[in-house]
Amino acid sequence: MNKYLDAVIVEHNPSQKKIDRAVIWLHGLGASGHDFEPVVPQLGLADDMAVRFIFPHAPNRPVTVNGGMVMPAWYDILEMSLERKVDIAQIEESAQQIHDLIAREIERGVKPEHIVIAGFSQGGAVAYHVALGYPQRLAGLMALSTYFATNDSVRYSAVNTDMPILIEHGAHDPVVPVILGEQAKQLLSEKGYNVAYHTYPMAHQVCIPQIQNIGKWLNTILA
């Protein structure tokens, strides 16, 4: 059995040098690694930057809030209250699979401090867990239209307390209410993290001004 999750790989490398930066970006519930593939050319990344984007596919599993339907999911969502009761053990299992992808990038010569962990919606909850608990310094954490599900169970890593964190949310999100993005920002800011927080006049999605802002942020933290 393949140790690594299947993933879509997109490389931004106009200068054709050795790839030394990586972004591991997790999709939302019921989607796939192809979801954010078209975003890469729109980010406006610097021409001298050599970045590998890894968009893993979540495994298929039954999802309680969708009537037990089997679909790509990083973990089971047990109820859709604001508290978002979720299967923490499955988040930890998915987080370990992302740890494996990070280890593979390190083996390929990308330093951990040049690796960004990103996630949209359900993928963002796993991204929080991975990046905040990772034992080596990472380049940054990007949390899009998501919530922080594991504050009570994550083992915060002291080495990542100054890691840049970008939280972005749609002001009219009917799926993950914007208050959940605000709660994560407040919690992490109070813990001393360096959090940039933006909202956009959109629903549960991404928009062009946001993609451009993400590109600027990546250009800065991966420079």
Q: Active-site residue 121, yes or no?
A: yes
Closest CA relative to residue 72, chosen from 118, 126, 115: 126
Q: 3-class DSSP state for residue 67? A: coil
Verify whether residue 173 is a known catalytic residue.
Answer: yes
Question: If you compute the radius of gyration of the chain from its CA atoms, what whole number of angstroms results?
Answer: 16
12 annotated active-site: no
Give whole-number Cα distances, 169 to 32, 35, 206, in Å: 20, 17, 9
Catalytic entry in 114, 121, 129, 145: 121
Measured from the Cβ of residue 46, the count of other Cβ atoms closer than 10 Å reads 17
Cα–Cα distance list, 18 to 50, 52, 115, 210, 223 (Å): 7, 10, 15, 29, 15
Task: List residues with catalytic annotation.
Answer: 121, 173, 204
